[in-house]
Amino acid sequence: MLDYRLLPAGDTALVVEFGDRIDRRLNARVLALRAQLDEARIEGIVETVPTFRSLMVHYDPLVLPADALVRRIEALASSLRTVEPSGRAWRLPVCYDERLAPDLVDVGARTGLSPSQVVERHSATTYHVYMLGFLPGQAYMGDVAPELSLGRRETPRTKIPAGSLAMATTMTCIFPLETPCGWHLIGRSPVPLWERRPGSQPLLAPGDRVTFAPISFREYERLVVEIASGQFKIAPTEPLGAAA
């Protein structure tokens, strides 16, 4: 039986907490419970929202009383089975050119690596999408190689461009919108993770796997134009469920 806690979050949500740290095994339990709740199609559940280590379950108490929801969750959690990641695999182009990576040299200096070594190590990792948050479509991906792990910048920037690739502690992100940011900027991707249009869905989802493909500044500029004109569409290298 898995260890977890059930915590009320107001009158219409319940949090299932599996631990107190960022860990792929805990996140796998979160995503497994979400998948089982989705498969069960329990009337009254409005939405499930996964985080690093917990699952928030929004429900309609007029349709599904809290005690009934607790019983359903306990029944599923008691026999929860985690499997190998079955999300999609993506290879996203990223330009690590210093014109788009204002912190690359500083990251290298602070980690004892050259800028090219930083790029090599960062792009060599297959990242796990733990959760979406902060901005629409923003995926928190881990885990950054230990030798690249740095705390946040002492002085956050008031504004960074959409598409900025950044990292802090064990996480790396592509910020889908212009935003303030206290992370280290080491590149930029031309691929939009979220588009400003009705019905837009995030490109990435919890459980997906992501690698970054380094591209030149010229290639970055070309892709920006092609994506804006609709000539280029990114697709997963493995569709949903292919790795199961």
- The span from the CA of 27 to the CA of 32, in Å, is 8
pTM flag (> 0.75): yes
Q: What residue type is assigned to position 11 of the chain?
A: D
Residue 163 sits at the vertex; the CA angle it makes with 135 and 219, to the nearest 5 degrees, is: 160
What is the CATH T-level fold of the domain 89-228, as seen in this structure? Answer: Cyclophilin (2.40.100)
Equal CATH topology for 5-78 and 89-228: no
**Domain spans of the chain, in order of start:** 5-78, 89-228
Nearest to 184 by CA among 94, 92, 104: 104
Where does residue 41 fall: left (phi above 0), alpha (psi -120 to 50 degrees), or beta otherwise?
A: left
Residue 47 sits at the vertex; the CA angle it makes with 136 and 64, to the nearest 5 degrees, is: 160
Paired with 157 in beta bridges are: 181
- The span from the CA of 137 to the CA of 40, in Å, is 26
| Radius of gyration of the chain, Cα coordinates, nearest whole angstrom | 19
Q: Cα 232 to the chain's mean position, in Å?
A: 23
Which sign does the torsion angle of CA 115, 119, 121, 122 carry? Answer: positive
- Residue 203 and residue 192 in contact, taking contact as beta carbons nearer than 8 Å: yes
Residue carrying structure tokens 């479509």: 137
Q: What digits encode the pLDDT tens for the residues 34-59?
A: 999 999 999 999 999 999 999 999 99
pLDDT in tens, the chain (244 residues): 458 899 999 999 999 999 889 999 999 999 999 999 999 999 999 999 999 999 999 999 999 999 999 999 999 988 887 766 678 999 999 999 999 999 999 999 999 999 999 999 999 999 999 999 999 999 999 999 999 999 999 999 999 999 999 999 999 999 999 999 999 999 999 999 998 777 778 999 999 999 999 999 999 999 999 999 999 999 998 876 654 4
Over 79-95, what HEC string results? CCCCCCCCCCEEEEEEE
Residue 228 sits at the vertex; the CA angle it makes with 226 and 232, to the nearest 5 degrees, is: 40
**203 to each of 132, 176, 181, 188, how far by Cα in Å?**
11, 10, 21, 16
What is the CATH T-level fold of the domain 5-78, as seen in this structure? Answer: Gyrase A; domain 2 (3.30.1360)
